[in-house]
Each structure stands twice: as C-alpha cells, then as structure tokens.
Chain A
C-alpha cells in the first residue's frame, strides 16, 4: 500500500528514501545514480525502492 519502512531482507530503514527517489527520477536523473546517492548499496534494499508501487492514493478515492 505504501513503501515498506524497512528492507525485507536485511532490515535497513529505507522508507525515507522513496519520496526523494521518485522526485529525482521524475526530473530525469538515472535511478541507479539516485540510489547510490541515497546510500542504498545492497541489491536487497535497492529492489525495495525501485519495485515499489504506491497504491494508497487509489484506496483513498473509495474511502468514505
């Protein structure tokens, strides 16, 4: 629904990186570079960020 707070595999807190990642990738920066910049180095943590699809906005449309 929203980006997980921690990496499923190693337990590093990664939730805080998601909003900045989205913003910078939308501006045209390379995803690979942004992740390096955010100090997300292991591939377990990297997949948490770039495979995330936030669905909470869709849920919010139907909530009464």
Chain B
C-alpha cells in the first residue's frame, strides 16, 4: 500500500492511495464517520435565557458546534463542562463559550448562536461528552469519501476523429503521438461522455481496481492524521475482538 498527498479541494485533504482494495478503504471511511469518538455538547442547563429562541433551539445549536478534541486524554464516555454568559445587545458567538479545560476549545469562534436585544441575558452550563457518530451526526469526526481512478483504453478501430477530446467536460483527454490518452486519471469523474460519443465503439473508460483518491475533511474536532490513526485503532480493536471469539470456538 502506498499513500501520497495530492492537491486539496477546499478544506478536504486528498490522498492518492494505491495497492489496496475498496473493502479496506471503505472500512476506514465508515469507521471515521461513525466510530471515532469526539466531543460534542449533549446536555445544557439554562439559568437565564431572555432571547427570542427557545432553550431547546439554543441547546441544539450549541450541540452542533464542533469542539477541538484531545483524543489522548479523553476516551469514549468522558465528559467536560463549558460555560456561557452574555448580556445584549449583540450576537452570541461560539467563541463566547468558556471551556473549563484549556485543552478543549471550539474549532471556530465565529459561529453565531443567538442574537440578544439590549438588556437580554443568557447564562448556561453545557456538558460535552465523548461519543461516536453512530449516536448522532454531531459526533461525526469527518466528511470522508473515496473514488477509484480512471483508466482509458482504445482499440485498433480508433480513427482519431477527436470527438472524445471535444466531449470531455473536464478537458482531460488529448492526442499524443497518434494515440488517445487520459492526461489526469485522478481528476477524471468517470462520466463516460468520451465512450458514449465514440462512433466506432473504440474507446473504453473504466475504474482502476487498486488505486483510489481518498478525500477527508475534518469537521474541526480532530486533525486529518488523527482521524485516520484513530479509525485504524478502532478497526484493530474490532478485529481483535473477533479474533478472541474465533479462538473460543477452536
């Protein structure tokens, strides 16, 4: 297995992975979405809320805020407290949340929570717990996906009519020394436009079996490296558990 970092799209980091199977990549994908524990607000006690939003709405908004998690000192089920106190007029931002643990903070300080009029007060105590995405999306660690790269082949019937070059919506096909080739197998979306437009049926474009583009965008709680590392640890624990059960049988 070989892994190489390639140009990111927006905040998504992308990796070019070769020499593995879709099953393994997909296992990592599923685990990082629903089994890597991160912190998110679960219960909120209100002391004061004069805003136009109901307590439940404010609590829901608070829960969705990603918290930077220290996955070394916090394990699944652990909890910590955050405090919020503000008086209007003005907007209450996620940055106004005061964490009781200096290692934990909100990942973005500019997320608006609620607006307050002059004299309005809000005061609350929130408890964040370490859980997994299986319970609720607020504990999802990453937005992650993978795709297979493309391989283009032509047969002898190809008469170099260049229809496929014109048809490619991303402009990735070109002619090089009398042959039709794919410039970039990573950016190709496998739309099949080049194959459909070929009158001679001389062109085929198929996904490669063992090379992938893995794109990972952290929700803000963990770094990309931590997400991959933690999901591998979870997978390892699951396999070891399975191993133990199998041993009991023999």
Contacts and interface: CB of A to CB of B under 8 A. Distances in A.
B19 to A, nearest CB: 28
A18 B52 contact: no
Contacts of A13: 64-66, 107-108, 111, 219-220
B53 interface: yes
Contact of A56 (B52, B65, B143): B52
A60 B64 contact: no
B61 interface: yes
A12 B108 contact: no
Nearest to A57: B115
B76 to A, nearest CB: 19
A39 B108 CA distance: 14
Given A1-B53, A11-B219, A12-B217, A39 B137 contact: no
Contacts of B217: 12
B209 interface: no
Interface in B56-75: 57, 61, 64-66
A15 to B, nearest CB: 4
A41 B219 contact: no
Contacts, number: 67
A15 B111 contact: yes
Scoring B53, B111, B114 by chain A CB atoms within 10 A of each residue's CB, the highest score goes to B111
Contacts of B143: 10-12
A34 interface: no
A19 interface: yes
B124 to A, nearest CB: 16
Nearest to A6: B64
Contacts of B10: 39-42
Nearest to A62: B52
Interface string B24-66: 0000000000000000000000000000110001000100111
Interface in B1-37: 9-12
Nearest to B142: A11
A63 interface: yes
A25 interface: no
A15 B112 contact: yes
Contacts of B53: 1-2, 56
A15 B110 CA distance: 8
B219 A63 contact: no
Interface in B131-152: 137-138, 140, 143
Interface of B: 9-12, 52-53, 57, 61, 64-66, 94, 107-115, 117, 137-138, 140, 143, 217, 219-220
